[in-house]
Each structure stands twice: as structure tokens, then as C-alpha cells.
Amino acid sequence: MTTFGLIRHGSTIWNKEGRAQGSSDIPLNENGWQQARLLGERIAGEQWDRIYASDLKRAQQTAQAIAEASGLTITLDARLRELDGGLIEGTTQAERIERWGEDWKEQDLGLETPESGAKRGLACLQELAECYPDERILIVSHGVLLNHVLNVILQQEPPKWHSLDNMSITVVECDADQEWDCALYNCTSHLLPYEANKAE
């Protein structure tokens, strides 16, 4: 049984502004760094064997903060990149409607398909499950990619409309027959002390 901790990267300025990031190489903002440090403290108290991360900066930086706290080694894999957003990268929902109209989702704006993203993300996980049976592996990636992978391996459980929060961890297990199970979904309990302090 291989266990994966699927982590969505920390917050960025484009997250805060509601801009589509896609394959744009946007770094963490200060809030994102703090989120990553808190998850690093949580991971340091758990048993994990290695970290694989998307090669985009926001995922690399998240993995870096976790590795500094846990002593784990990071391996970058481009298959864990966010889906390419084509022409919509850098835009807000309002800007997309202004440029392309209410039906912009129906137009060909160069977006990578969900099937393509899920295929490469799942291929990475399956390869790691074969190479490292019985290990516990952290995967630092992106919200849309992870959602599509989860929809495939869990047969649309959790449902498609439920997006992962920044710096959440979702734990899934893969057995020798490539059967998957979800042990923890979209957990952000490690962020609660920080969010409480921000509210004061």
C-alpha cells in the first residue's frame, strides 16, 4: 500500500485576486509562505518518506518550506504542473466575461483539457506507487490538477464541484491492484492557529 499526501500549494497574489494561474510561474505571497511553514510543522511530526512537487515556483516553494521542517528530499516532476490555462491565464472572471462574453467557457481559448491533466498527474502517481510500494509520499501540486486526478481515482468522490483549499492535504492510498481509497480530504487544520491570529 502506497500512501500519498496530496498538497495544494500555498496562497499567491493571483489566488487573492482571483486570477487564473495555470502554467504561469507565480511565487507564493507572504501568506502562502506562512501557510507552508505551518504545514511543514505538521509534516515534521508525521511519518513521510519523500516529496515530489510540480516544477512551478509556487509548488516548489511550498515543498521547500515543508522539506526544511521535515528534512525530506524534494524531486520535481513537470507532470504535476497545473493545467495550462491558455489565453485565460492572468485574468479574473470579470475580465474573461468582458473579453470573450458570458460563454467564454464554450470557446477555444487554448486551455488544457481535464482529461489531459488527469492523465499525466495519475501517470506520475501510478509510477511512484510501483517504484515505492509501502512508502508514504507527499505530492505538492495544484488545485485543478489534483481535483481532476481525484475525480478519476475516486470515481468522482469527492464531487467535481468541491475545490481544494490552498495548503490543504488530502491523503489517498493505492494498493497493489491500483485500487484507491481516500483517508483524509482537504484538511487544513494546521492553518487554524494562523487564521485565528489574523482575525484578532
Which residues are designated catalytic? 9, 82
What are the residues facing 5 on neighbouring strands?
138, 171
Would you call 101 helix, strand, or coil by DSSP? coil
Instruction: Please name the amino acid found at residue 19.
Output: R
**Residues 115, 104, 84, CA angle at the centre, nearest 5°?**
40
- What stretches of the chain show up as alpha helix (H) in DSSP? 13-17, 30-44, 57-70, 93-100, 114-131, 143-153, 192-199
Cis peptide before 158 (omega within 30 of 0): yes
